[in-house]
Chains A and B, each alone.
Chain A
Protein backbone atom coordinates (compact mmCIF):
# COMPACT_ATOMS: atom_id res chain seq x y z
CA UNK A 1 0.00 0.00 0.00
CA UNK A 2 1.72 3.15 -1.19
CA UNK A 3 1.05 6.74 -2.10
CA UNK A 4 3.81 6.90 -4.67
CA UNK A 5 2.41 4.18 -6.90
CA UNK A 6 4.92 4.89 -9.66
CA UNK A 7 7.79 4.19 -7.26
CA UNK A 8 6.03 1.07 -6.01
CA UNK A 9 5.82 -0.08 -9.62
CA UNK A 10 9.42 0.89 -10.34
CA UNK A 11 10.75 -1.26 -7.49
CA UNK A 12 8.77 -4.23 -8.73
CA UNK A 13 5.59 -4.34 -6.61
CA UNK A 14 2.88 -6.27 -8.40
CA UNK A 15 -0.22 -5.65 -6.27
CA UNK A 16 -0.50 -1.96 -5.42
CA UNK A 17 -3.26 -0.24 -3.47
CA UNK A 18 -2.98 3.56 -3.37
CA UNK A 19 -2.84 5.35 -0.02
CA UNK A 20 -3.62 9.01 0.54
CA UNK A 21 -0.27 10.54 1.50
CA UNK A 22 3.24 9.85 2.71
CA UNK A 23 2.97 10.89 6.39
CA UNK A 24 -0.52 9.41 6.88
CA UNK A 25 -1.13 6.69 4.31
CA UNK A 26 -4.42 5.46 5.78
CA UNK A 27 -6.18 8.30 7.63
CA UNK A 28 -6.13 12.05 7.10
CA UNK A 29 -5.84 13.68 10.56
CA UNK A 30 -7.78 16.69 9.24
CA UNK A 31 -10.90 14.56 8.82
CA UNK A 32 -13.15 13.08 11.56
CA UNK A 33 -12.06 9.80 13.15
CA UNK A 34 -15.01 7.91 11.63
CA UNK A 35 -14.02 8.98 8.14
CA UNK A 36 -10.44 7.91 8.72
CA UNK A 37 -11.67 4.55 9.94
CA UNK A 38 -13.94 4.06 6.92
CA UNK A 39 -11.15 4.93 4.52
CA UNK A 40 -8.65 2.70 6.26
CA UNK A 41 -11.01 -0.26 6.46
CA UNK A 42 -12.00 0.11 2.82
CA UNK A 43 -8.45 0.30 1.52
CA UNK A 44 -7.24 -2.61 3.66
CA UNK A 45 -10.14 -4.65 2.31
CA UNK A 46 -9.13 -3.73 -1.25
CA UNK A 47 -5.62 -4.89 -0.36
CA UNK A 48 -6.88 -8.20 1.05
CA UNK A 49 -9.02 -8.84 -2.02
CA UNK A 50 -6.04 -7.93 -4.22
CA UNK A 51 -3.99 -10.61 -2.47
CA UNK A 52 -6.62 -13.18 -3.38
CA UNK A 53 -6.92 -12.08 -6.99
CA UNK A 54 -5.04 -13.53 -9.92
CA UNK A 55 -3.14 -10.91 -11.95
CA UNK A 56 -1.12 -11.05 -15.14
CA UNK A 57 0.91 -7.88 -14.68
CA UNK A 58 1.67 -5.23 -12.05
CA UNK A 59 -1.72 -3.80 -11.11
CA UNK A 60 -2.86 -0.69 -9.30
CA UNK A 61 -6.17 -1.54 -7.62
CA UNK A 62 -9.02 0.97 -7.64
CA UNK A 63 -10.24 2.38 -4.34
CA UNK A 64 -13.61 4.03 -3.74
CA UNK A 65 -12.84 6.07 -0.64
Chain B
Protein backbone atom coordinates (compact mmCIF):
# COMPACT_ATOMS: atom_id res chain seq x y z
CA UNK B 1 0.00 0.00 0.00
CA UNK B 2 1.21 3.51 -0.85
CA UNK B 3 1.87 5.91 1.97
CA UNK B 4 0.77 9.48 2.54
CA UNK B 5 2.04 11.87 5.19
CA UNK B 6 -0.36 14.53 6.37
CA UNK B 7 0.42 17.99 7.79
CA UNK B 8 -2.04 19.83 10.05
CA UNK B 9 -1.86 22.71 12.53
CA UNK B 10 -2.36 22.68 16.30
CA UNK B 11 -6.08 23.27 16.03
CA UNK B 12 -6.90 20.40 13.69
CA UNK B 13 -4.25 18.32 15.46
CA UNK B 14 -6.49 18.66 18.55
CA UNK B 15 -3.72 20.29 20.61
CA UNK B 16 -5.60 23.52 21.16
CA UNK B 17 -6.60 26.88 19.76
CA UNK B 18 -4.80 30.21 19.53
CA UNK B 19 -3.18 29.69 22.94
CA UNK B 20 -1.36 26.62 21.55
CA UNK B 21 -0.27 28.24 18.31
CA UNK B 22 3.38 28.05 19.44
CA UNK B 23 3.19 24.25 19.53
CA UNK B 24 6.47 22.82 18.27
CA UNK B 25 6.32 20.35 15.40
CA UNK B 26 5.93 16.70 16.18
CA UNK B 27 5.28 13.57 14.16
CA UNK B 28 2.80 10.85 15.08
CA UNK B 29 2.00 7.51 13.57
CA UNK B 30 -1.34 7.19 11.81
CA UNK B 31 -4.02 9.76 11.09
CA UNK B 32 -5.26 12.56 13.34
CA UNK B 33 -8.36 14.77 13.04
CA UNK B 34 -9.17 15.45 9.37
CA UNK B 35 -6.56 12.82 8.54
CA UNK B 36 -9.08 10.13 9.50
CA UNK B 37 -11.35 11.24 6.67
CA UNK B 38 -8.38 11.50 4.33
CA UNK B 39 -7.25 8.02 5.32
CA UNK B 40 -10.72 6.58 4.56
CA UNK B 41 -10.83 8.26 1.19
CA UNK B 42 -7.34 7.12 0.17
CA UNK B 43 -8.13 3.52 1.06
CA UNK B 44 -7.51 0.93 -0.29
CA UNK B 45 -4.81 2.38 -2.56
CA UNK B 46 -3.04 4.34 0.16
CA UNK B 47 -3.03 5.14 3.86
CA UNK B 48 -2.01 8.01 6.07
CA UNK B 49 1.06 6.54 7.72
CA UNK B 50 2.09 9.60 9.74
CA UNK B 51 0.79 12.98 10.76
CA UNK B 52 2.84 16.09 11.38
CA UNK B 53 1.36 18.64 13.75
CA UNK B 54 2.84 22.12 14.01
CA UNK B 55 1.57 25.32 15.60
CA UNK B 56 0.85 28.10 13.11
CA UNK B 57 2.81 30.67 15.08
CA UNK B 58 5.76 28.37 15.50
CA UNK B 59 5.90 27.89 11.75
CA UNK B 60 5.33 31.62 11.19
CA UNK B 61 8.01 32.88 13.57
CA UNK B 62 10.54 30.05 13.32
CA UNK B 63 10.13 28.99 9.71
CA UNK B 64 13.65 27.67 9.11
CA UNK B 65 13.70 25.77 12.38
CA UNK B 66 10.22 24.28 11.85
CA UNK B 67 10.98 23.18 8.32
CA UNK B 68 14.34 21.69 9.27
CA UNK B 69 12.80 19.71 12.09
CA UNK B 70 9.95 18.41 9.96
CA UNK B 71 12.26 17.44 7.09
CA UNK B 72 14.38 15.56 9.62
CA UNK B 73 11.30 13.66 10.84
CA UNK B 74 10.58 12.66 7.25
CA UNK B 75 14.13 11.73 6.28
CA UNK B 76 13.82 8.10 7.34
CA UNK B 77 10.16 7.64 6.35
CA UNK B 78 9.03 6.08 3.14
CA UNK B 79 6.13 7.99 1.63
CA UNK B 80 4.64 8.57 -1.83
CA UNK B 81 2.65 11.74 -1.37
CA UNK B 82 2.55 14.66 1.06
CA UNK B 83 -0.76 16.34 1.84
CA UNK B 84 -1.29 19.49 3.93
CA UNK B 85 -4.49 21.01 5.28
CA UNK B 86 -7.11 21.93 4.19
CA UNK B 87 -6.33 25.38 5.54
CA UNK B 88 -9.58 27.14 4.48
CA UNK B 89 -9.33 30.90 5.09
CA UNK B 90 -6.80 30.61 7.94
CA UNK B 91 -3.95 32.82 6.69
CA UNK B 92 -1.07 31.56 8.83
CA UNK B 93 -2.16 27.95 8.35
CA UNK B 94 -2.41 28.41 4.57
CA UNK B 95 1.05 29.91 4.37
CA UNK B 96 2.39 27.11 6.61
CA UNK B 97 0.86 24.47 4.33
CA UNK B 98 2.47 26.18 1.33
CA UNK B 99 5.88 26.49 3.02
CA UNK B 100 6.05 22.88 4.14
CA UNK B 101 4.71 21.49 0.85
CA UNK B 102 7.31 23.46 -1.10
CA UNK B 103 10.10 22.31 1.23
CA UNK B 104 9.04 18.64 1.11
CA UNK B 105 8.77 18.73 -2.68
CA UNK B 106 12.22 20.30 -2.95
CA UNK B 107 13.88 17.83 -0.60
CA UNK B 108 12.15 14.52 -1.37
CA UNK B 109 10.72 15.14 -4.84
CA UNK B 110 7.35 13.62 -3.94
CA UNK B 111 4.03 15.07 -5.11
CA UNK B 112 2.59 17.60 -2.64
CA UNK B 113 -1.02 18.70 -2.38
CA UNK B 114 -2.83 21.24 -0.26
CA UNK B 115 -6.17 23.03 -0.18
CA UNK B 116 -7.23 26.50 0.89
CA UNK B 117 -9.70 29.27 0.15
CA UNK B 118 -8.72 31.24 -2.97
CA UNK B 119 -8.22 34.43 -0.97
CA UNK B 120 -5.91 32.78 1.53
CA UNK B 121 -2.54 34.60 1.19
CA UNK B 122 -0.90 31.18 0.79
CA UNK B 123 -2.50 30.92 -2.67
CA UNK B 124 -0.62 33.82 -4.23
CA UNK B 125 2.60 32.82 -2.48
CA UNK B 126 2.65 29.17 -3.56
CA UNK B 127 0.18 28.71 -6.41
CA UNK B 128 2.95 28.46 -9.02
CA UNK B 129 4.96 25.86 -7.13
CA UNK B 130 2.55 23.30 -5.73
CA UNK B 131 -0.89 21.82 -6.33
CA UNK B 132 -3.42 23.88 -4.37
CA UNK B 133 -7.09 22.97 -4.51
CA UNK B 134 -9.57 25.78 -3.97
CA UNK B 135 -11.39 25.13 -0.72
CA UNK B 136 -14.12 26.69 1.36
CA UNK B 137 -13.56 29.62 3.72
CA UNK B 138 -14.32 27.59 6.84
CA UNK B 139 -14.16 24.06 8.22
CA UNK B 140 -17.77 23.37 7.25
CA UNK B 141 -16.54 22.43 3.77
CA UNK B 142 -14.12 19.83 5.15
CA UNK B 143 -16.17 17.04 3.57
CA UNK B 144 -15.92 18.74 0.18
CA UNK B 145 -12.30 19.85 0.34
CA UNK B 146 -10.63 16.70 1.64
CA UNK B 147 -12.17 14.44 -1.05
CA UNK B 148 -10.81 16.74 -3.79
CA UNK B 149 -7.28 16.29 -2.48
CA UNK B 150 -7.75 12.55 -1.92
CA UNK B 151 -9.10 11.93 -5.43
CA UNK B 152 -6.22 13.84 -6.96
CA UNK B 153 -3.66 12.07 -4.75
CA UNK B 154 -4.99 8.70 -5.90
CA UNK B 155 -4.75 9.81 -9.49
CA UNK B 156 -1.09 10.80 -9.03
CA UNK B 157 -0.30 7.59 -7.13
CA UNK B 158 -1.78 5.44 -9.88
CA UNK B 159 0.59 7.06 -12.38
CA UNK B 160 -2.15 8.63 -14.45
CA UNK B 161 -1.24 11.66 -16.54
CA UNK B 162 -2.22 14.88 -14.84
CA UNK B 163 -4.15 17.17 -17.17
CA UNK B 164 -4.86 20.88 -17.09
CA UNK B 165 -5.71 22.87 -14.00
CA UNK B 166 -9.21 23.39 -15.34
CA UNK B 167 -9.82 19.66 -15.81
CA UNK B 168 -8.28 18.55 -12.53
CA UNK B 169 -9.58 21.36 -10.39
CA UNK B 170 -6.31 22.58 -8.86
CA UNK B 171 -5.42 26.27 -9.05
CA UNK B 172 -3.54 27.17 -12.27
CA UNK B 173 0.22 27.20 -11.72
CA UNK B 174 1.03 29.57 -14.62
CA UNK B 175 2.56 26.69 -16.54
CA UNK B 176 1.34 26.82 -20.12
CA UNK B 177 2.03 23.70 -22.17
CA UNK B 178 0.54 21.93 -25.14
CA UNK B 179 -2.56 19.77 -25.08
CA UNK B 180 -4.93 18.42 -27.68
CA UNK B 181 -8.54 19.49 -27.84
CA UNK B 182 -10.94 16.74 -26.95
CA UNK B 183 -13.16 15.78 -29.87
CA UNK B 184 -10.39 17.23 -32.04
CA UNK B 185 -12.01 20.65 -32.37
CA UNK B 186 -9.84 22.58 -34.82
CA UNK B 187 -8.42 26.03 -34.18
CA UNK B 188 -10.66 27.35 -36.95
CA UNK B 189 -13.83 26.07 -35.30
CA UNK B 190 -12.74 27.35 -31.90
CA UNK B 191 -11.99 30.77 -33.38
CA UNK B 192 -15.26 31.09 -35.27
CA UNK B 193 -17.28 29.84 -32.29
CA UNK B 194 -15.51 32.34 -30.05
CA UNK B 195 -16.14 35.16 -32.53
CA UNK B 196 -19.85 34.33 -32.81
CA UNK B 197 -20.13 34.48 -29.02
CA UNK B 198 -18.18 37.72 -28.83
CA UNK B 199 -20.27 39.37 -31.57
CA UNK B 200 -23.52 38.21 -29.99
CA UNK B 201 -22.52 39.52 -26.58
CA UNK B 202 -22.37 36.05 -25.06
CA UNK B 203 -19.72 34.93 -22.63
CA UNK B 204 -16.55 33.61 -24.26
CA UNK B 205 -13.30 32.32 -22.89
CA UNK B 206 -9.91 33.17 -24.33
CA UNK B 207 -7.35 30.37 -24.52
CA UNK B 208 -4.57 32.81 -23.65
CA UNK B 209 -5.36 35.12 -20.73
CA UNK B 210 -3.21 38.26 -20.98
CA UNK B 211 -0.67 38.44 -18.17
CA UNK B 212 -0.17 41.59 -16.17
CA UNK B 213 2.35 43.91 -17.78
CA UNK B 214 5.76 44.04 -16.06
CA UNK B 215 6.81 47.12 -14.15
CA UNK B 216 10.45 47.79 -13.37
CA UNK B 217 11.53 50.50 -10.92
CA UNK B 218 12.95 53.50 -12.75
CA UNK B 219 16.72 53.86 -12.37
CA UNK B 220 17.94 57.18 -11.03
CA UNK B 221 19.47 59.39 -13.73
CA UNK B 222 23.23 59.55 -14.31
CA UNK B 223 24.45 62.63 -12.43
CA UNK B 224 27.35 63.63 -14.62
CA UNK B 225 27.67 62.04 -18.05
CA UNK B 226 31.19 63.37 -18.48
CA UNK B 227 32.31 61.16 -15.58
CA UNK B 228 30.15 58.18 -16.49
CA UNK B 229 31.14 54.75 -17.81
CA UNK B 230 28.66 53.61 -20.45
CA UNK B 231 28.37 49.97 -21.51
CA UNK B 232 26.94 48.49 -24.70
CA UNK B 233 24.68 45.45 -24.51
CA UNK B 234 22.66 43.96 -27.37
CA UNK B 235 20.25 41.17 -28.16
CA UNK B 236 21.12 41.33 -31.86
CA UNK B 237 23.72 38.57 -31.73
CA UNK B 238 26.81 40.67 -32.52
CA UNK B 239 29.88 38.50 -31.88
CA UNK B 240 33.47 38.23 -33.12
CA UNK B 241 33.57 36.35 -36.43
CA UNK B 242 33.22 32.62 -35.83
CA UNK B 243 31.05 33.01 -32.69
CA UNK B 244 33.70 31.87 -30.16
CA UNK B 245 31.17 31.22 -27.36
CA UNK B 246 28.82 29.34 -29.67
CA UNK B 247 25.84 31.43 -28.63
CA UNK B 248 22.71 29.85 -30.14
CA UNK B 249 21.18 31.59 -33.18
CA UNK B 250 17.71 31.13 -31.74
CA UNK B 251 16.31 30.19 -28.31
CA UNK B 252 19.57 31.39 -26.80
CA UNK B 253 20.63 30.33 -23.33
CA UNK B 254 24.12 31.86 -23.52
CA UNK B 255 25.56 35.34 -23.67
CA UNK B 256 29.10 36.50 -24.42
CA UNK B 257 31.35 39.42 -23.47
CA UNK B 258 33.94 40.73 -25.85
CA UNK B 259 36.78 43.16 -25.26
CA UNK B 260 36.50 46.35 -27.27
CA UNK B 261 39.03 48.46 -25.38
CA UNK B 262 41.22 49.32 -28.35
CA UNK B 263 38.48 49.56 -30.95
CA UNK B 264 36.89 52.69 -32.36
CA UNK B 265 34.27 50.76 -34.26
CA UNK B 266 33.26 47.17 -35.03
CA UNK B 267 34.74 46.20 -38.39
CA UNK B 268 32.75 44.17 -40.89
CA UNK B 269 34.49 40.86 -41.43
CA UNK B 270 35.77 40.85 -37.85
CA UNK B 271 32.34 40.97 -36.23
CA UNK B 272 29.09 39.41 -37.37
CA UNK B 273 25.56 38.74 -36.22
CA UNK B 274 24.49 35.17 -35.54
CA UNK B 275 20.84 36.11 -34.94
CA UNK B 276 18.56 33.82 -37.00
CA UNK B 277 15.44 35.92 -36.58
CA UNK B 278 16.17 38.54 -39.23
CA UNK B 279 18.05 39.19 -42.44
CA UNK B 280 21.69 39.50 -41.25
CA UNK B 281 23.15 41.24 -44.30
CA UNK B 282 22.93 44.83 -43.01
CA UNK B 283 24.49 44.03 -39.64
CA UNK B 284 27.22 41.91 -41.21
CA UNK B 285 28.23 44.72 -43.51
CA UNK B 286 28.20 47.23 -40.64
CA UNK B 287 27.93 45.75 -37.12
CA UNK B 288 27.82 49.31 -35.68
CA UNK B 289 24.22 49.56 -36.85
CA UNK B 290 23.39 47.21 -33.95
CA UNK B 291 26.22 47.97 -31.52
CA UNK B 292 26.85 51.72 -31.99
CA UNK B 293 30.45 51.60 -30.76
CA UNK B 294 31.59 54.17 -33.33
CA UNK B 295 29.05 56.74 -32.14
CA UNK B 296 29.70 56.09 -28.46
CA UNK B 297 33.48 56.34 -28.94
CA UNK B 298 33.09 59.70 -30.62
CA UNK B 299 31.17 60.94 -27.57
CA UNK B 300 34.02 59.66 -25.42
CA UNK B 301 36.53 61.58 -27.54
CA UNK B 302 34.39 64.71 -27.34
CA UNK B 303 34.23 64.38 -23.55
CA UNK B 304 30.45 64.05 -23.43
CA UNK B 305 30.86 60.77 -21.56
CA UNK B 306 33.65 59.59 -19.30
CA UNK B 307 34.46 56.37 -21.06
CA UNK B 308 33.08 53.38 -22.92
CA UNK B 309 33.07 50.19 -20.85
CA UNK B 310 35.74 47.74 -22.04
CA UNK B 311 33.37 44.90 -22.91
CA UNK B 312 30.37 44.59 -25.17
CA UNK B 313 27.78 42.03 -24.05
CA UNK B 314 25.80 40.04 -26.63
CA UNK B 315 23.06 37.49 -26.83
CA UNK B 316 20.31 36.54 -29.27
CA UNK B 317 16.69 37.50 -28.72
CA UNK B 318 14.66 35.27 -31.01
CA UNK B 319 12.71 32.35 -29.63
CA UNK B 320 14.46 33.17 -26.37
CA UNK B 321 12.07 32.63 -23.53
CA UNK B 322 11.34 35.42 -21.13
CA UNK B 323 12.70 33.30 -18.29
CA UNK B 324 16.06 32.74 -20.03
CA UNK B 325 16.21 36.40 -21.02
CA UNK B 326 15.61 37.47 -17.42
CA UNK B 327 18.32 35.17 -16.14
CA UNK B 328 20.86 36.35 -18.72
CA UNK B 329 19.91 39.97 -18.06
CA UNK B 330 20.46 39.51 -14.34
CA UNK B 331 23.85 37.85 -14.92
CA UNK B 332 25.02 40.61 -17.25
CA UNK B 333 23.73 43.32 -14.90
CA UNK B 334 25.66 41.76 -12.03
CA UNK B 335 28.94 41.97 -13.99
CA UNK B 336 28.23 45.54 -15.05
CA UNK B 337 27.61 46.52 -11.44
CA UNK B 338 30.83 44.91 -10.30
CA UNK B 339 32.66 46.88 -13.01
CA UNK B 340 31.09 50.12 -11.73
CA UNK B 341 29.36 50.85 -15.01
CA UNK B 342 27.12 53.93 -14.63
CA UNK B 343 24.59 53.24 -17.37
CA UNK B 344 23.90 50.97 -20.31
CA UNK B 345 22.69 51.37 -23.86
CA UNK B 346 20.87 48.17 -24.77
CA UNK B 347 20.06 47.75 -28.44
CA UNK B 348 17.39 45.22 -29.22
CA UNK B 349 16.53 43.85 -32.64
Interface string of A33-65 (1 = CB under 8 A from B): 000110011011101110111111110000000
Given the complex, which residues of B lie within 8 Å of A43, measured CB to CB? 292
Known A-B contacts A10-B213, A26-B347; A44 and B289 likewise in contact (beta carbons under 8 Å): no
Neighbour of B294 across the interface among A2, A12, A40, A47, CB < 8 A: A40
Given the complex, which residues of A lie within 8 Å of B213, measured CB to CB? 10, 12
B348 CB–A CB distance under 8 Å: yes
Size band of the interface chain A makes with B: 35 or more
Tell whether, in the assembled complex, residue B347 and residue A1 are in contact, meaning their CB atoms are under 8 Å apart. yes
Tell whether, in the assembled complex, residue A54 and residue B290 are in contact, meaning their CB atoms are under 8 Å apart. no
Known A-B contacts A14-B218, A40-B295, A54-B221; A27 and B288 likewise in contact (beta carbons under 8 Å): yes
Interface string of B277-305 (1 = CB under 8 A from A): 11111110110111010111011000011
**Given the complex of chains A and B, what is the CA–CA distance between A29 and B91 in angstroms?**
61
Chain A residues close to B by CB (< 8 Å): 1-4, 8, 10-15, 19, 22-29, 36-37, 40-41, 43-45, 47-49, 51-58
**Given the complex of chains A and B, what is the CA–CA distance between A37 and B236 in angstroms?**
19
Given the complex, which residues of A lie within 8 Å of B218, measured CB to CB? 14, 55-58
**Given the complex of chains A and B, what is the CA–CA distance between A36 and B283 in angstroms?**
12
Known A-B contacts A1-B348, A25-B290, A45-B299; A53 and B279 likewise in contact (beta carbons under 8 Å): no
Tell whether, in the assembled complex, residue A12 and residue B216 are in contact, meaning their CB atoms are under 8 Å apart. yes
Given the complex, which residues of B lie within 8 Å of A57, measured CB to CB? 218
Given the complex, which residues of B lie within 8 Å of A15, measured CB to CB? 219
B205 CB–A CB distance under 8 Å: no
Residue of A nearest to B215 (CB): A12
Q: Shortest CB–CB separation between residue B24 and chain A, in angstroms? A: 43
Tell whether, in the assembled complex, residue A26 and residue B221 are in contact, meaning their CB atoms are under 8 Å apart. no
Given the complex, which residues of B lie within 8 Å of A36, measured CB to CB? 286, 289
Given the complex, which residues of A lie within 8 Å of B225, measured CB to CB? 48-49, 51-52
Given the complex, which residues of A lie within 8 Å of B347, measured CB to CB? 1-2, 19, 25-26
* 16 CB-based A-B contacts, threshold 8 Å: A3-B348, A10-B214, A14-B216, A14-B218, A14-B219, A23-B283, A28-B282, A29-B285, A40-B289, A40-B294, A40-B295, A43-B292, A48-B305, A52-B222, A52-B225, A54-B221
Known A-B contacts A23-B279, A44-B295, A44-B345; A11 and B305 likewise in contact (beta carbons under 8 Å): no
**Given the complex of chains A and B, what is the CA–CA distance between A12 and B298 in angstroms?**
30
